Every structure is written in C-alpha cells, then in structure tokens.
Amino acid sequence: MKNIDTLVIGAGPGGYVAAIRASQMGQNVTIVEREFLGGVCANVGCIPSKVLISVGHRFEQTKYSEDMGVVVQEVKLDWARVQEFKKGVVSKLIGGVEGLLKGNKIDIVNGEAYFIDAHTVRVIDGDNVQTFTFKNAILATGSRPIEIPTFKFTERVINSTGALSLPGVPEQLVVIGGGYNGTELGSAYASLGAQVTIIEGGTDILAGFEKQMTQLVKKSLQRKGVEVVVGASAKGVKENENGVVVTYEVGGEEKTVEANYVLVTVGRRPNTDEMGLEAVGIEFEERGLLKVDKQCRTSVQNIYAIGDIVSGPQLAHKASYEGKVAAEAIAGEKSIVDYLAIPAVCFTDPELATVGYNEEQAKAEGIEVKVAKFPFAANGRSLTLNAIEGFVKLVVRKIDGILIGAQIVGVGASDMIAEMGLAIEAGMTAEDIALTIHAHPTLGEITMEAAEVIIGRPIHVVKA
C-alpha cells in the first residue's frame, strides 16, 4: 500500500501535463499508464500523422515546383525511411516526456488502474499488483476509435492507428468519415500518390469549420484526385485477396468502390469503462463522458477528469489546459476553465484554424458583430511561397471593436492562429492589432491587414 497526494491515471498530453503541474504545486505525484507515455497523441495520433502530412507536402511540392523554377526529373518515395523518420520523431518526444516526469520527481507506474473506492486504486500489470491510496486523483484516460459493427477492424479495415503504419502507400484508399482525421489522412495519402475516396454521412466534410474555409480544402482534394462523396451511408465491406470492396448508399442508390484498405474515422469513444468508476459514484453524461464542473472536478469531490473523457472537442491542447486547471484546483487555487480562446486546427491542404466565435455563432448568441477578410493573395510572403489560397477573417463586437473570433485558411494557419487566441484572451480590439507592427514580409501581416480592413483603413486592398 502506497500513500500519495495526487494520482494521475493516463500519461497522454492531459495526464503528464497535469502531473508536472501538480508536482510544481508541491504535491507528491504518481502517474499510471497502461500503454505508452505521451498517449495517443504522441505515439499514434497528432505527431505521427503530422509526419505523414509533412512528408506528403514535401513530396508533392517537389514534384510540382516547375512554376518556381525547380525541375526534378524523378521523385522517389522511400517508405521505409519515412517510417523510420516517423519513429525517430515519436521516440524523441516520448523520451522527452519521460525525462520531464522524472525531472519533476514523479513516480511512473505501468499498468491498468481499477478503483476500489474514492481514495484507493489497484494497478495491475500482468502478475504484478500494486495498491495506492491517494488524497486526489486526476483521470486522463483518453479515447479510442469507434468501431462500426459493419466495419470490424481487420488487417484491411483499419482505424487511424493502423493508417499510420501501412506497409506502403496504397494504390486505393477508402475513408469512412470526413472529419479531422479522415480528411487529414486522406489528403496526406493522396499527396503521396494514393487514389482516395472519402465517404461522409453529413452534408459536407469538416463540419466544424465554415463553408468558406472548407471550400478551399475541397478544391485542393479535387486537384489531388480525391473523390468526396457526401450525404452517403456506408453499408458494409467485403475483403478479398487484393483488398476490400466497400458498399455505400447515396441518393437512394447503392454503389461500391474497391480499394486496398478502408480507413474508418467516425469518431472516438472515451476510455471510462472497466475502471470501476460507477462503484465509486462518479456521474456520467451521455456517450460515456464524465460530468465535471469548471475546475474539472467530478461528482466525487476528490476525483477530477480531463481531456477526451469530458465534454468538448477532443483536442490535445484542451486536455493539457484542463490538466493544469485540475492540478491547480487541487492545490487550492481558483483556476477554472474558459474555452473561448481554445483554437481548433485541421492540417489539411490548405490548413484550417479557428478560435473564438465565428460569425454564425456570434449572431446565434445575439452578439452584433463586424467581420472583415484579407486574402493571402495580397500578401508578399504568400506570393514568395507560391501559396496564395486562403484568407484571414476577423470577428469583432460592433459595440466596442473587441476581437471575439478569427478564422484562418491558408499556409501556416496552424501557427498564425496563436496570435488571434492571445488577442482574444487579452481583450484586444481590431485597432490594437492594426497598430501592432508586424514584420515584413511575413504571413503574420495578414492579420494586421484584416484588422485595418475592419476599422475602415485598409492599405493593401481597395476600400469597398
């Protein structure tokens, strides 16, 4: 029996960050992980998928750079080296996480945790069983891919994890689900030479983003030869020696498509089962999510929950943010969650990024707003990159000009959105942004230019 102050279950981007912050606050911390440090994000999610996306961009750009004077006779892809590079990136990150935990004097325990009561957990790792008693616990157990009954996972019917470690770039790939994961991975494999079909049940792909933004992604997918089928229902799959035959229905008509693999990306299920949480008295919301307050505290006062197992978008940076709040709350601080300036990014081609309110959301809440856009095509740095598609859109309150939202589509959107998040957090106005000197030539200037449009003093577009 080991007695500790704070027990963290799950060592993903929420758990390990929570553990470090708890240790910084003077708590004696133990972290339990059943699979691998860094969680899904670092091992089989955010990081390795971005490796494939980056390789896809590099491969495609090398092949089609004649306009910029770069003529390559033959471009070859060494898939084995791609996989080695991916493993190296993951290994460095995981080693870094382990070093940070040990450097903060956090005990790392391998195994599966099962609650005995609100202050006791049993951790099982094969034949090794340990019991811990704790004052407080933070649950950060993450999520796993949803499996459709008619698309059971096999060697050919794969989830996002399987898609990252294929033996080679497939000739044909079918993707079920046009959300973040499906569109990112579908686009990446299309860049690498695969013939991709995306089957989406909704009226459009990437439902969380404005249509003005997703239209540019769909044009890019079309250029890559990707077929996007919306309003479609995936019915089933048959495997053969060469791959799969996927049956789907669209517009009342049943169709089939053949491929080497079918990637199923229809969402993720929270890992809240088989932990004994019900016996402890923790209250659940729908879909297996845990009910928490603004300090990430569950219905059991000394147990907190963060990340994919609570409501909200399943984002690594959301989990990390909540982990800090929970650890600080345990230490007696008045930290609470505030999601207004939490960004969402999709690493498609071009990239999509949004933070705060979009125009529709603001109007739905009765907020009178002014909006303005500035195109990448009018920016010098975009021209030098030969990446002129996209825009920055700002949403400000009409009454005082304070920025409450921003949407960016274009090269570098994932990095540019941070400035907009900071501006929202700081309560800055469009004029504040316009008066901030931005280096030239940079993509960051586009945010300044958009702010100048919204205050009625644009320089590099003609005032309407």
415 contacts 365 by C-beta, under 8 angstroms: no
Name which of 95, 79, 94, 106 is nearest 20 in CA terms.
106
Give the whole-angstrom CA distance, residue 204 versus residue 183: 11
- 274's tokens: 């088989």
The alpha-carbon radius of gyration of the chain (Å, integer) is 24
For 82, how many CA atoms within 13 A lie in the half-sphere containing its CB? 25
Give the whole-angstrom CA distance, residue 387 versus residue 410: 8
- 432's tokens: 């504040």
370 contacts 65 by C-beta, under 8 angstroms: no
The sign of the CA dihedral 147, 150, 154, 155 is: negative
* CA 183 from centre of chain: 12
Which residues are CB-neighbours of 240 under 8 A, at least 6 positions away?
none
247 contacts 264 by C-beta, under 8 angstroms: no
Classify 88 as helix, strand or coil.
helix
| Annotation marks residue 57 as catalytic | no
For 313, how many CA atoms within 13 A lie in the half-sphere containing its CB? 21
Known catalytic residues are: 440
